[in-house]
Structure 1
Amino acid sequence: MAKDDKDFYGYDPSLAAAIVTIIIFAILTTLHLILLFKTRTWFCIPFTIGALFEVIGFITRALGHTNRYYIASKPGPLVYFIIQAVLILLAPLFFAASVYMFLSRIIRATGHTSYSPVCTKWLTKIFVGGDFLCLNIQSTGASMLTNAKGNAKKADLGTNIVMTGLVLQIVIFAFFVGVAGVWHRRMRSGPGAPGKHPVGANGWDWERYMWMLYVASGIITARNLYRVVEYAMGEDGYLLMNEWSVYVLDALPMVVVLVVCARWYVGDLSGLLRERGEEVEMMVDGERRGTVRSE
């Protein structure tokens, strides 16, 4: 059955599911915010921003429970629909930004920057820059799509733009994981590399963080694939017309990412930096330090 042009969702959005999701994301947002200021691990700021996007997105989705129809004289329902659609779509891009930044810090912390196929100076700039590009593409497409108001050509263009942004993000993530994998392999077998052993006086287990990075990257990529399929199926497609997919294939994976990445607020990375003369921003128990030079 085709969705009514005046019906934003095509079904009655579940208030209970939205409330439960809001509570979960609110707890995780608070947790990440506390850890952020406690450890001053500033590269994790995007986690808090993305989590806040999820909270606001699902709050406006909850409001859609009683505001699912377009009424020209009542802008509220349209505003709620646009906010929830855009924020829930874009939130994972912020999680991805922190994932990208964490890799360069892991590499620097081990002191084996020469094993990276991409210079660590450019690693964060390249991937976060790509993430910012995807953010702009997807937000443009989402804005166009949610404001189509029955204009089929505009809706199709918005859908194609969003899909372009999602596919580009998947490609960038694939390249990112490839770079991480090459460095990881060299760390396991390269000359002078620590292999499977922890590094530093405190026995920092760099490989554990690499596996968490892979898990977060894989989950975000899987979620993006779901979104590509959803948009490809069209506004009357199964995924868009069945609410369970939003919670099981989008919200739940992002909850897992936030839980996994809550372990990334570590202060011991800075004490492990080994690059001679490299200007770095260090953090030991939340304190900023200067340049580290190896003897």
Structure 2
Amino acid sequence: MAGGKDINDPDAFVLYRYHPSLPAAAIFVALFGISSALHMYQAIRKRALFMVPFIIGGLFETVGYIGRIQSSQDQYELGPFIMQTLLLLVAPALFAASIYMVLGRIILLTNGEPYSLIRRTWLTKIFVTGDILSFLLQGAGGGLMSSGKSDPDKIKLGEHVILVGLFTQIAFFGFFVIAALIFQHRGRAHLAKIGPETPWKRHLTMLYVTSIFILIRSIFRVVEYLQGNAGYLLRHEVFLYIFDAVLMLGVMVALNWVHPGDIARLLKEKDLRGDVVELNRPISEDRNKSYP
């Protein structure tokens, strides 16, 4: 009971319908923190500036689980609840922003633009724009829910805004995966001729893996919010760790293992040899171009 509200009362909005686990939160603070630190090192060493949103997402995950550690000390305190709700909700959108940029670089690395469903120069713009929209909607919805603790209408509005944001994320991510599959299918003969010194395949495979993880997590969140504050998923903490924490850690570790910064290095090397020239740019300009 807190403020006269029973955590088992289906008609009341409560912050947690269980006591948050301190050990589980502490484990994921450590794991996300280690992976984020490694991503910082890899991005700096490989000059992969396009991974900055991804790193921020990792820091959001880390701080979000710190919020859950604080909530394990007092599950009725609003501040830590808001912190973990917002940061864990929007972090995958930041992961997505960097992942979207990977496909464009793979297309450029393999000279595969003729096989892309969308022109490479528009590819990143379209998907990152959708990602920003999803990020803003989820953040706004989470803010409404967190600040409307005693206002059922505000809470309901927040849930609806979050759902719109999640559906936006799923739609853009689904289309992104389709675009990647079409590129690989159309260009299969061309890609088969590329030597092993251009390891496009493992980067594209990792792109699929991380995209699927984020899609599964987003679908879980949709179901969670559709069920509402008293739903089955929100009454059992284990689902958050299985379908959010583990999957998002999987995204981070997968890209620690096959880091997209390697593509930037390969692009620079090929560009210096004159093998890669951006469309509609003079060769002299491209020779001085870096691929962060």
> Shared topology, TM-score over 0.5?
yes
- Does structure 1 conserve the Cα–Cα contact (< 8 Å) formed by 2:224 and 2:231? yes
Alignment gaps of 5+ in structure 1: 70-76, 281-287
**Equivalent residue number for residue 97 of structure 1:** 97
Q: Name 1:194's counterpart in structure 2.
A: 191
2:255 matched residue in structure 1: 261
1:116 aligns with 2:102: no
Aligned partner of 1:271 in structure 2 is 269
Distance 1:83 1:162 in 2: 16
Query: When you count helix as a share of all residues, which structure comes out higher?
Result: 2
5+ residue gaps, structure 2:
1-7
> What does residue 74 of structure 1 align with?
none
Aligned residue type for 1:161: V
How big is the shift at 1:194?
Answer: 3.2
Deviations 1:31-89 (A, max 9, x none): 001101111111111111000000110001100012212xxxxxxx2111101000000
| Cα deviation 1:118-166 (Å, max 9, x = unaligned) | 1111111110011001011110111001111232111111101101100
Structure-2 separation of matches of 1:231 and 1:215: 25
2: CA distance, partners of 1:20 / 1:270: 38
Which residue type is aligned with residue 234 of structure 1?
Answer: G
Q: Which amino acid aligns with 1:268?
A: L
Aligned to 2:232: 238
The match for 1:65 among 62, 72, 76 is 72
- Which amino acid in structure 1 is aligned with residue 72 of structure 2? H
1:208 aligns with 2:202: yes
Question: Counterparts of 1:24-173 in structure 2 under 5 Å?
Answer: 24-69=31-76, 77-173=77-173
- Indicate conservation of the 8 Å contact 1:134/1:166, yes or no: yes
CA distance in 2 between counterparts of 1:24 and 1:155 reads 32
CA contact (8 A) 1:144 1:154 kept: yes
Cα–Cα, structure 1 residues 279 and 258, in superposed 2: closer, same or farther, change >3 Å? farther
Question: Could you say which residue in structure 1 is the equivalent of 2:3?
Answer: none
Alpha-carbon contact 1:109-1:271 (below 8 Å) kept: no
Q: Offset of 1:178 from its aligned partner?
A: 1.2
Using the alignment, how far apart are the partners of 1:278 and 1:44 within structure 2?
26
The Cα shift of 1:268 comes to 1.6
- Secondary structure of the 2:266 match is coil
Match of 1:73 in 2: none
Q: Work out the CA distance in 1 between the residues paired with 2:166 and 2:143.
A: 15
1:275 CA displacement: 3.4
Deviations 1:235-289 (A, max 9, x none): 0001111111111110000111001112222122333452355559xxxxxxx96
Structure 2 counterpart of 1:145, one-letter code: M
CA deviation after TM superposition for structure 1 residue 7, in Å? 4.1
Amino acid at match of 1:290: N
Structure 2: how far apart are the matches of 1:53 and 1:233? 25
Given that residues 14 and 229 in structure 2 are in contact (C-alpha distance below 8 angstroms), is that contact kept between their aligned partners in structure 1?
A: no
Q: Distance in 1 between matches of 2:269 and 2:153?
A: 56
Matched residues, percent identical? 37
The CA deviation string for residues 8-32 of structure 1, in whole angstroms up to 9 with x for no partner, is: 1111101111101100001001100
* Counterpart amino acid of residue 40 in structure 1: R
SS in structure 2 opposite 1:36?
helix
Q: Does the Cα contact within 8 Å between 2:13 and 2:229 map onto a contact in 1?
A: no
CA contact (8 A) 1:111 1:272 kept: no
- TM-score where L is the length of structure 1: 0.87
Amino acid aligned to 2:144: M
Question: What is the number of equivalent residue pairs in this alignment?
Answer: 272
State the alpha-carbon separation in 2 of the partners of residues 46 and 213 from structure 1. 16
